[in-house]
Amino acid sequence: MITNPTRQRTLGGVLPSHPTARPGGRVRNSAEHQAALAWRLTPRDHWIVAMLAEHRVLTATQITDMAFPSFRSGRQRLRELHQWSVVDRFQPFATVGSAPMHYVLAPAGAAVLAATHGLEPRDLGYRHDRTLGIAHSLQLAHTVGVAEWFAALVAAARHGTATGTGTAAGPATLETWWSEIRCARLFGDLVRPDGYGRWTNRNRRVEFFLEFDLGTEALSRVAAKLAGYAALTAATGITTPLLVWLPTSRREAGARTALYRAWRDLARPGAVPVATAAAGLLDPRTPHPSPADPVWLPLHPVGTGRDGARLPLHRLTEAWPHLDHPGSAAPAEAGPSGTADSGTGPHRLPAPLPMPPAPSPRGRTTPAP
pLDDT at position 366: 42
Paired residues of 166 in beta bridges: 170
Distances, alpha carbon 4 to alpha carbons 1, 32, 94, 246, 280, in Å:
5, 44, 14, 11, 8
CA distance linking residue 179 with residue 55, whole number of Å: 6
- Neighbour-count burial for 110-136, b at 16+ CB within 10 Å, e otherwise: bbbbbeeeebebebbebeeeebbebbe
Q: Are 299 and 275 in contact (CB under 8 A)?
A: yes
Q: Are 284 and 1 in contact (CB under 8 A)?
A: yes
pLDDT at position 347: 73
Q: 185-203 pLDDT, tens per residue?
A: 999 999 999 999 999 998 8
Reported as half-sphere exposure (CB side, CA atoms, 13 A), residue 294 has a value of 8
pLDDT at position 151: 98
pLDDT at position 27: 78
pLDDT at position 337: 36
Domains of the chain in start order, with CATH, are 8-138 (1.10.10.10), 140-319 (no CATH)
Q: Are 213 and 245 in contact (CB under 8 A)?
A: yes
pLDDT at position 47: 98
Of 110, 33, 92, 31, which Cα lies nearest the Cα of 346? 110
pLDDT at position 2: 72
pLDDT at position 11: 60
3-state secondary structure the chain: CCCCCCCHHHEEEEECCCCCCCCCCCCCCCHHHHHHHHHHCCHHHHHHHHHHHHHCCEEHHHHHHHHCCCHHHHHHHHHHHHHCCCEEEEEEEECCCCCCCEEEECHHHHHHHHHHCCCCHHHHCCCHHHHHHHHHCCCHHHHHHHHHHHHHHHHHHHHCCCCCCEHHHECCEEEEEECHHHHHHHHCCCCCCCEEEEEEECCEEEEEEEEECCCCCCHHHHHHCHHHHHHHHHHHCCCCCEEEEECCHHHHHHHHHHHHHHHHCCCCHHHCCEEEEEHHHCCCCCCCCCCCCCCEEECCCCCCCCCCCCECHHHHHHHCCCCCCCCCCCCCCCCCCCCCCCCCCHHHCCCCCCCCCCCCCCCCCCCCC
CA distance linking residue 297 with residue 19, whole number of Å: 46
Q: Which residues of the chain have pLDDT under 70?
A: 1, 3, 6, 8-25, 163-170, 301-308, 324-345, 360-369
